[in-house]
């Protein structure tokens, strides 16, 4: 087998993993999910899930990659030959996520262009829905595709060309590119936060963000229209996994490039906390801006904008409008967002292409080109007027169900089959800081039980609704499970295909 690339140095590993973790998940997804699920209550659930599930699992993925020196499919195959499909399943889910992720990146590329003229004007919401998306009216009918958005398509092509350019030389380039893509954006983020929190009326937004309504955390029998606690916790835990890039097979691949001296425990904490901090700090900018808008429009904070994947493309332009030199900051901001996104996206391409390479003996470049082409093709559905409805459905399903299932499986396989105590031993051998049996308990029992409970509840609630009103969420259920089944079959086929390893 081809010799494994090793990270140029330790900092490169940490930066590349932080680069993968910090992305649109922090500045695009976190704020709108947090807004949708009650602000402060979501924030509390997010922090609890980060510490009790996210960080232990991130540690597990690094260790699994390092222990097996394989990307996800090979890593699970080393535990048990019959489990290779599960690794393909994880990268398969990751790939579907990456395909809509790159669609959001194409929005960013377009907004970079719009920044030169501040094309969104005084009404960023109207501009986003009409001019950028030409959004079809009815989210219940995503089948009516609407018009093809050529400018988004060009953005998508550009996005994938950039991703490909970044991964061209493997971990050596990745290690260098991330210096720019991680550290640069932070400076600008701080500036946006300062502007966001000093806007007139920001206080209301900020208080919604940091003051939890505690009862939401245990409201397990919600009245109609209320958010149930199971849904809130599921949203929080899947946001944690999404944000840490856990459950995509990415961190397994990155762990496999790790040298022997790097301390797994300490670095996982640095990466996990660095990622969470970016999301939480960025939240101050968004919620400040939401407060400002609510104040200006004279409406309560919960009604100020339509929640969902479009939220940040409305709030950030609002902040930019209020800055001195708005053109300059607009341009800088969307460059920053694209930079943050690009190292997350290329981590996924890297995970998928190293899996293909490990199994089929492709060259690095062949594998990367193939994955990028597939990425463009799978991104096409989001280029239509109904694209954002699709995006919302796929995002919701792939995160709530897809990632949770992968994490559940990982806990069961590594926790019970490997088992956890052996992995803990392995981690402790390679770390200055040590983990104890509490880690095993979380991997074997607490995380799987919590996910099973929330997932079970989620499916139950939807099925129950399906009888009365076969609405969007129920269509989503059928479409979503259909998609998961397809990914499952593709994974089985890939795992059964004969390997073609070069020695
Ligand atoms: N951790 C990434 C983020 O928060 O933006 C999530 C991610 C999504 C990584 C899609 C990679 C990817 F292809």
Q: Is the CB of 97 within 6 Å of ligand 1?
A: yes
Helix, strand, coil content of the chain in percent (nearest 5)? 80, 0, 20
Q: Is the dihedral of CA 110, 111, 114, 120 positive or negative?
A: positive
Quick one: pLDDT band at residue 389, thresholds 50, 70, 90?
A: confident
Instruction: Please write the tens of the pLDDT for every residue from 437-454.
Output: 999 999 999 999 999 998
37 has pLDDT over 50:
yes
CB 501 within 8 A of CB 359: yes
Q: What percent of the chain clears pLDDT 90, i.e. is strictly above it?
A: 55
Q: In whole angstroms, what separates CA 424 from the centre of its chain?
A: 26
- At 138, the pLDDT band (50, 70, 90 cuts) reads low
Q: Percent of the chain beyond pLDDT 70? A: 92
Residue 197: other Cβ atoms inside 10 A? 18
- Where is pLDDT greater, at 396 or 495? 495
- Pocket test residue of 164, 240, 245 for ligand 1, highest count of atoms within 8 A of CB: 245
Task: Give pLDDT, residue 174.
Answer: 62
pLDDT at res. 424: 96
H or E segment and range at residue 382: none
Whole-angstrom distance, CA of residue 248 vs CA of residue 411: 14
Q: Which atom of ligand 1 is nearest to 340's Cα?
A: 5
More confident residue, 18 or 182: 18
pLDDT in tens, 316-335: 898 888 778 899 989 998 99
Q: Which of 146-150, 320-324, 461-465 has the highest mean pLDDT?
A: 146-150
Q: Verify whether ligand 1 is closer than 6 Å to residue 251 (CB atom).
A: no
Q: Whose CA is nearest to atom 9 of ligand 1?
A: 344
- Evaluate whether 70 touches 358 at the Cβ level (below 8 Å): yes
Q: What digits encode the pLDDT tens for the residues 334-388? A: 998 998 898 899 889 988 888 888 788 888 888 899 999 999 999 999 999 989 8
- What's residue 139's pLDDT? 65
Give the separation between CA 392 and CA 390, rounded to whole angstroms: 5
User: Over the stretch 192-219, which tens digit does the pLDDT of each residue have?
Assistant: 899 889 988 999 999 999 999 999 999 9
What domains sit in the chain, N to C, each tagged with a CATH number?
10-496 (1.20.1740.10)
Q: Would you place residue 470 in the very low, low, confident or very high pLDDT band (cuts 50, 70, 90)?
A: very low
Helix (H, G, I), strand (E, B) or coil at 213: coil
Average the pLDDT over 167-173 and give the result: 68
142, pLDDT greater than 80:
no
Average pLDDT over residues 479-487: 89
Q: Can you tell me the mean pLDDT for 21-47?
A: 94
Report pTM. Answer: 0.91
pLDDT at 236: 95
- Residue 207 CB-density burial (10 A; 0-12 exposed, 13-18 middle, 19+ buried): middle
Q: State which of 94, 271, 344, 368 you would mutate to test the pocket of ligand 1, scoring each by most atoms of that ligand within 8 A of its C-beta.
A: 344
Contact 58, 18 (CB under 8 A): no
Biggest CA–CA distance in the chain, Å, is 69
Q: Which residue did the predictor score with more confidence, 224 or 23?
A: 23
Rg (alpha carbons) of the chain, rounded to whole number: 22
Q: What is the pLDDT of residue 168?
A: 79
Distance between Cα 463 and ligand 1 center (Å)? 29
**What is the rounded distance in angstroms from the CA atom of residue 74 to the CA atom of residue 259?**
18
pLDDT digits (tens, 9 = 90+) for 71-115: 899 999 999 999 999 999 999 999 999 999 999 999 999 999 999
Query: Averaged over 453-464, what is the pLDDT?
Result: 80
CA–CA distance, 363 with 357 (Å, rounded to integer): 6
Q: What is the pLDDT of residue 1?
A: 40
Which pLDDT belongs to residue 461? 75
What is the pLDDT averaged over residues 17-37?
Answer: 93
Cβ(271) to ligand 1 under 6 A? no
Q: Among 16, 24, 167, 379, which is best to mutate for testing ligand 1, by the most ligand atoms less than 8 A from CB? A: 24
Q: Is residue 301 a contact partner of residue 49, using CB atoms and an 8 Å limit?
A: no
Cα–Cα distance between 291 and 65 in angstroms, integer? Answer: 44
Alpha-carbon distances of 279 from 120, 340, 471, rounded to whole Å: 25, 12, 32
Q: Note the pLDDT of residue 101.
A: 95
Handedness of CA 440, 270, 192, 156 (dihedral sign): negative
User: Residue 433: pLDDT band by 50, 70, 90 thresholds?
Assistant: confident
Looking at residue 311, its pLDDT comes to 86
What pLDDT, on the 0 to 100 scale, is given for residue 331?
Answer: 94
Helix segments in 322-433, DSSP class H: 326-360, 364-379, 387-397, 404-412, 420-429
Centroid of chain to Cα 452: 21
Residue 278 · residue 26 · CB < 8 Å: yes
Ligand 1 centre distance from Cα of residue 23 (Å):
6
Which pLDDT tens digit goes with each residue over 287-298? 998 998 889 888
Q: Tell how far the Cα of 240 is from the centroid of ligand 1, in angstroms.
A: 11
**Among 25, 249, 372, residue to substitute to test ligand 1 (most atoms within 8 Å of Cβ):** 25
Picking from 194, 236, 329, 202, the residue whose alpha carbon sits closest to that of residue 29 is: 236
Ligand 1 atom with the smallest distance to the CA of 349 is 13
Sequence-distant (6+) residues with CB within 8 A of 424 are: 435, 436, 437, 439, 440
Judged against a pLDDT cut of 60, whether residue 467 lies above it is answered with no
- Residue 348 CB less than 6 A away from ligand 1: yes
Instruction: Please tell me if the CB atom of residue 193 comes closer than 6 angstroms to any atom of ligand 1.
Output: no
pLDDT beyond 80 at 137: no
Count of H-run helices and E-run strands, the chain: 23, 0
The residue nearest atom 10 of ligand 1, judged by CA position, is 98
Q: Which residues contact 119 (CB under 8 A, 6 or more apart)?
A: 127, 131
Torsion angle in degrees (nearest 10) through CA of 174, 177, 179, 185: -120
Which of 99-103, 118-122, 220-224, 253-257 shows the lowest per-residue confidence on average (mean pLDDT)? 220-224
Which of 130-144, 209-223, 228-242 shows the lowest mean pLDDT across its residues? Answer: 130-144
Give the whole-angstrom CA distance, residue 98 versus residue 341.
10
What backbone torsions phi and psi does residue 37 show, to the nearest 5 degrees?
-105, 35
pLDDT bin (cut points 50, 70, 90) of residue 502 is very low
| Confidence bin at 472 (pLDDT 50/70/90) | low
Q: What pLDDT is attached to residue 111?
A: 96
**Atom of ligand 1 lying closest to residue 275 CA:** 4
242 close to ligand 1 (CB < 6 Angstrom): yes
For ligand 1, is residue 93 a contact (CB within 6 Å)? no
Q: Which of 134-143, 164-173, 226-235, 241-250 has the highest mean pLDDT?
A: 241-250
Residue 369: C-alpha distances to residues 43, 70, 96, 228, 352 (Å): 39, 21, 17, 44, 11
Residues in the chain: 503
Question: CA 217 to CA 46: how far, in whole Å?
Answer: 11
Q: Is the pLDDT of residue 466 over 60?
A: no
Mean pLDDT, rounded, of the chain? 88
- Checking if the pLDDT of 5 tops 80, the result is no
């Amino acid at each position: 087998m081809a010799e494994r690339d090793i990270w140029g140095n330790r900092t490169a590993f940490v930066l590349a993993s932080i680069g993968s973790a910090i992305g649109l998940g922090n500045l695009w997804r976190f704020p709108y999910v947090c807004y949708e699920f009650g602000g402060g209550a979501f924030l509390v659930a997010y922090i609890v899930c980060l510490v009790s599930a996210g960080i232990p699992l991130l540690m597990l993925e690094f260790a699994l990659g390092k222990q097996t020196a394989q990307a996800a499919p090979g890593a699970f195959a080393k535990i048990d030959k019959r489990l290779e499909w599960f690794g393909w399943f994880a990268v398969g889910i990751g790939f579907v996520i990456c395909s809509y992720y790159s669609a959001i990146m194409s929005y960013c590329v377009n907004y970079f262009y719009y920044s030169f003229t501040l094309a969104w004007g005084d009404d960023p919401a109207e501009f986003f829905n009409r001019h950028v998306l030409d959004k079809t009216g009815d989210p219940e009918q995503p089948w009516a595709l609407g018009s093809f958005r050529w400018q988004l398509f060009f953005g998508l092509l550009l996005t994938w060309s950039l991703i490909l350019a970044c991964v061209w030389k493997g971990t050596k380039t990745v290690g260098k590119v991330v210096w720019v893509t991680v550290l640069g954006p932070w400076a600008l983020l701080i500036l946006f936060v300062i502007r966001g929190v000093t806007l007139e009326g920001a206080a209301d937004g900020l208080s919604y963000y940091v003051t939890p309504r505690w009862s939401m955390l245990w409201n397990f029998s919600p009245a109609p229209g209320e958010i149930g606690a199971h849904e809130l916790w599921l949203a929080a835990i899947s946001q944690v996994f999404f944000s840490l890039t856990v459950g995509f097979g990415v961190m397994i691949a990155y762990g496999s490039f790790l040298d022997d001296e790097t301390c797994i425990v300490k670095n996982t904490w640095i990466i996990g906390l660095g990622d969470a901090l970016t999301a939480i700090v960025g939240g101050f900018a968004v919620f400040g801006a939401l407060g400002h808008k609510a104040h200006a429009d004279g409406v309560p904070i919960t009604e100020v904008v339509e929640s969902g994947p479009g939220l940040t493309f409305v709030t950030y332009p609002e902040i930019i409008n209020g800055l001195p030199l708005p053109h300059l900051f607009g341009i800088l901001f969307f460059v920053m967002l694209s930079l943050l996104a690009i190292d997350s996206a290329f981590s996924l391409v890297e995970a998928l292409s190293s899996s293909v390479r490990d199994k089929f003996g492709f060259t690095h470049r062949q594998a990367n080109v193939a994955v990028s082409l597939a990425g463009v093709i799978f991104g096409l559905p989001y280029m239509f007027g109904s694209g954002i409805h699709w995006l919302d459905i796929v995002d919701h399903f792939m995160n709530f169900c897809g990632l949770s299932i992968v994490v559940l499986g990982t806990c069961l396989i590594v926790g019970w089959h490997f088992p956890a105590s052996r992995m803990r031993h392995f981690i402790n051998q390679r770390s200055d800081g040590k983990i104890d049996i509490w880690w095993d308990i979380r991997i074997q029992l607490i995380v799987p039980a919590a996910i099973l409970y929330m997932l079970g509840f989620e499916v139950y609630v939807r099925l129950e609704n399906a009888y009365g009103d076969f609405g969007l969420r129920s269509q989503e259920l059928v479409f979503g499970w259909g998609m998961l089944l397809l990914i499952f079959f593709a994974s089985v086929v890939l795992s059964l295909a004969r390997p073609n390893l070069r020695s």
